[in-house]
Amino acid sequence: MEKMIKKRIDQVKEKGHQRLTVLLIPHGFDKSFHFQISIFTIFFLVGLLFAIVGIAVLGIVKYNNTRIQINALASVYGKYFDEYIEYSEKLGDIRDDFATLNENLQEVHSLIDGESDELLKLPDESDSEDLAATELKVEEAGDKDLMIGRSYLSEIYGYRAVRVSMERNRSLVDSVFTFLDTRYGIMNSLPFGEPLFSYNLTSYYGMRRSPTFGYMEFHDGVDLANVPGTPIYATGDGKVYRAIYSPRGYGNHIVLAHANGYYSLYGHCTKLLVRDGEYVHKGQLIATVGATGNVTGPHVHYEVWIGESNRTDPMEYMKVGLGQY
């Protein structure tokens, strides 16, 4: 058996080494050219030719596929493609800004006596990048167009990592927001601010000479003068405790009940624009300036109470500095 195989191999070698003579006779020349070439050499040259042609075809196919992917990418990102490339260069600045933001949030959280130290722990950057890559792989599996984009725009991973970090710090943001929102609600529910946008302060809180009777009396509030019809605004969230039309004393007046036992009174109005039991918000129009009751000119008599009997100086609440509505 081995002898037969060896004999067959020898026969192939013998045929492969056989030479062929190639004769070339150029047209119009007397001399001819000829050369000899083995069969093995012919097979080698033919194989080399096929390899070169195959490589060329493969290169053309890959080039066409690349062009198709680039066109598909442009189609996916559309007119925003150039803008994306521009903004991707700013990715480093975005990361720095986010890091600064987190530091500021942590400082605010510590200043407001945040309860959970876990909220102050920044997520590790590598963890965020791994999670972002996982999210993108899931999206790619569901949308092949996205895969094209991911292949050419690696910055997408960077943006997604920043977004993931933001998401993982949402609890810190929520904690700070809840604190500030609660405090803001408390401040809004107290009578802080001024009932008129503009006024002349004609009488302070405390002892004074009565402008109508001439004797000394204790003035329970402040008088803020302006022309009749000037809008009067609620200085805090609350419920209308009284809305009374009267020709005596405070005249037409409103009393609002605020949180924590505070009340505010608006007297000598022309019109009352709210009713008993109605809930009003800070800055809401509730009445207009008038000259009803015991007055010498148009103004709003404004008082702030703690409880129903303890009058306080309204100026201490009007100048808190929360800004106008």
Domain for residue 241, yes or no?
yes
* Burial degree of 78 (CB within 10 A; 0-12, 13-18, 19+): exposed
Cα Dmax for the chain: 149
pLDDT over threshold 70, residue 117:
no
Domain for residue 95, yes or no?
no
Mean pLDDT of the chain: 77
What three-state secondary structure class fits 24? strand
pLDDT of residue 155: 61
Q: How many domains does the chain have?
A: 1
Bridge partners for 301 per DSSP = 223, 267
Domain for residue 234, yes or no?
yes
CA 150 – CA 85 distance, rounded (Å): 13
Domain for residue 299, yes or no?
yes
For 255, the domain range is 200-319
Domain for residue 2, yes or no?
no
Instruction: Give Cβ neighbours of residue 133 (< 8 Å, ≥ 6 apart).
Output: 157, 160
Per the CB < 8 A criterion, the answer to whether 266 and 312 are in contact is no
pLDDT over threshold 70, residue 210:
no
What is the b/e burial string over 132-150, where b = at least 16 CB atoms within 10 angstroms of the residue's CB?
Answer: beeebeeebeeeeeebbbb
Q: Beta-carbon neighbour count of residue 159 at 10 Å?
A: 17
Domain for residue 252, yes or no?
yes
CA 210 – CA 220 distance, rounded (Å): 12
Domain for residue 223, yes or no?
yes
Q: Which residue has the tokens 């002898």?
A: 3
Domain for residue 273, yes or no?
yes
pLDDT over threshold 90, residue 11:
no
For the full predicted model, state whether its pTM sits above 0.75. Answer: no
Q: How many residues in the chain?
A: 325
Sign of CA dihedral 130, 132, 136, 139: positive
* Burial degree of 64 (CB within 10 A; 0-12, 13-18, 19+): exposed
Q: Nearest Cα to 102, choosing from 132, 123, 118, 131?
A: 123
CA 177 – CA 235 distance, rounded (Å): 24
Residue 184: pLDDT band by 50, 70, 90 thresholds? Answer: confident
**Percent of the chain whose pLDDT exceeds 90:** 30
Residue 309: pLDDT band by 50, 70, 90 thresholds? Answer: confident
Q: pLDDT tens digits for 228-250?
A: 999 999 999 999 999 999 988 89
Q: Which residue has the tokens 């709003």?
A: 300
CA 315 to mean position of chain CA atoms = 39
3-state secondary structure 106-162: HHHHHHCCCCCHHHHCCCCHHHHHHHHHHHHHHHHHHCHHHHHHHHHCCHHHHHHHH
Instruction: Give the CATH number of the domain where residue 303 resides.
Output: 2.70.70.10
pLDDT of residue 312: 93
pLDDT over threshold 90, residue 112:
no
Q: Name the residue with higher pLDDT: 127 or 280.
A: 280
pLDDT of residue 100: 73
